[in-house]
Structure 1
């Protein structure tokens, strides 16, 4: 199909967190592999890890435990994993380009600039406890997301069981923006949103929400989907299971783009004008 080219300017950017803003994916893998090694099980392959990314914790754990066949209960695995998380997650760092991207978008929201504002919200499957564990030492970085525009996996505003790859978390993130827009600013439509994701279920969730998507995956995830990139960008990999595909995109429809990193982001391509840094 011919890609669409007449998109309106992006007015809102919705961000995943793990593996997109923060370097947590390798930490997750390390924690799991330490437990697998303890019980003489093979290391986690990317074919399985790809299915865990982006999903709410309970859904991811179910997939993992069915594959791992550990000689311990789900509760014992969760407890051992939590100990490792407590030890390692406070060392998370932003991925390349992330601080510059976020601060650039925030500059568009200043009251004394003439360029259109680009609003931002967070939409992460991490539950609040893990969110705090990963971000408490990065308070300045995450201060750009107002509390009411942070949607986490156990957010009471989300219907349980409706995590990624379903669209609810991104639709809620957009609602948090629209509910807090400055007086006189028109509500933002889904097609005026740009979702930033690293996971395949996350891309599908963004497409199901009727939004444009940037896919910026871990290099090993990109390798896992080699030759299927257009399916990923269209949200048509089937990661949601037996769910009607009428909501997702078509191959090559122009709604999504792969980026190797968030460095030197092409704002102009998405109709965003970034004000210069004030002296």
Structure 2
């Protein structure tokens, strides 16, 4: 029998970093509704998941380039954005949390690090710009209260260099920085390997892996179907979403640093060294 390479021994997770669209909220479905309404108006087919998969998680400019190259609409990009914005103003205020998310965030709001007693820190790292973030979250203020204001990193954050959105690691490294610059006195800085990135998109998983962090991939069922047989590549961040940039930062297939979950219900806290002793506040 051949030898089996043992999985690495990981430190307990001290920080959980969250994407938003399609991970915390059902907003990816709202994006599809808005996009397909415009495509239908101009006699174009619905957006296929093969294209949507490439767009997910990326900054607006990068996502738009992929979309417009595929759609070949008979209107300008400016006109498309006008029509899209009108539809989004209608649909985004109706988004709701996905299964298991409220319980998970509530639990993490009171969770401790196993063997240390420190609080588990959480931060938000979303490619959504401030205006759309407001549309999606104004009716969910209590839900988002677990993310302290200074630990919310949005897609138009000026601290993220131009062109360095997901699948590059900058947004997650910045989210970690917001935690480390606001730790209680005496608590040592959180290291990247002590962070767990929660993502639904393939570029987002790659961003987390490039940041040197562990990751949980919770994709839309249609996206999971799109990557059937390639799950190990996704978890390693090796689907090539960012091209040949910083390839030394990628994971290795089967390295145990990431896993797939169907949803965020019944999250395995113990596996990650997270202790939840009492009910959360959500």
Which category of TM-score, normalised to the shorter sequence, fits these structures? over 0.9
Q: Which residue of 2 aligns with 1:230?
A: 232
| SS of residue matched to 1:261 | coil
- For the 8 Å contact 1:16–1:124, the answer to whether it is kept is yes
Cα distance between partner residues in 2 of 1:49 and 1:277: 37
- For the 8 Å contact 1:56–1:153, the answer to whether it is kept is yes
Q: Which residue of 2 aligns with 1:40?
A: 43
1:68 equivalenced with 2:77 (yes/no) = no
| SS of residue matched to 1:86 | helix
1:178-230 superposed Cα distances (whole Å, 9 cap, x missing partner): 00000000000000000000000000000000000000000000000000000
Cα distance between partner residues in 2 of 1:128 and 1:66: 26
Q: Which residue of 2 aligns with 1:178?
A: 180
Q: Give RMSD over aligned pairs.
A: 1.2
Q: Which residue of 1 aligns with 2:243?
A: 241
1:135 equivalenced with 2:137 (yes/no) = yes
| SS of residue matched to 1:13 | strand
- For the 8 Å contact 2:106–2:279, the answer to whether it is kept is no
| SS of residue matched to 1:122 | strand
Q: Which residue of 2 aligns with 1:99?
A: 102
Pick aligned residue for 1:212 from 202, 211, 214: 214
Q: Which residue of 1 aligns with 2:127?
A: 125
Q: Which residue of 1 aligns with 2:26?
A: 23
| SS of residue matched to 2:104 | helix
Cα distance between partner residues in 1 of 2:156 and 2:202: 20
- For the 8 Å contact 2:128–2:154, the answer to whether it is kept is yes
Cα distance between partner residues in 2 of 1:84 and 1:3: 50
1:164 equivalenced with 2:166 (yes/no) = yes
- For the 8 Å contact 1:195–1:213, the answer to whether it is kept is yes
Moved over 6 A (4+): none
Q: Which residue of 2 aligns with 1:203?
A: 205
Cα distance between partner residues in 2 of 1:41 and 1:241: 29
Alignment gaps of 5+ in structure 1: none
TM-score normalised by length of structure 1: 0.96
Q: Which residue of 1 aligns with 2:254?
A: 252
1:86 equivalenced with 2:116 (yes/no) = no
Alignment gaps of 5+ in structure 2: none
TM-score normalised by length of structure 2: 0.95
Q: Which residue of 1 aligns with 2:195?
A: 193
The alpha-carbon deviation at position 5 of structure 1 amounts to: 3.4
The alpha-carbon deviation at position 276 of structure 1 amounts to: 1.7
| SS of residue matched to 1:107 | coil
Distance 1:3 1:56, change over 3 A: farther
- For the 8 Å contact 1:12–1:119, the answer to whether it is kept is yes
Pick aligned residue for 1:50 from 32, 53, 57: 53
Cα distance between partner residues in 2 of 1:203 and 1:70: 30
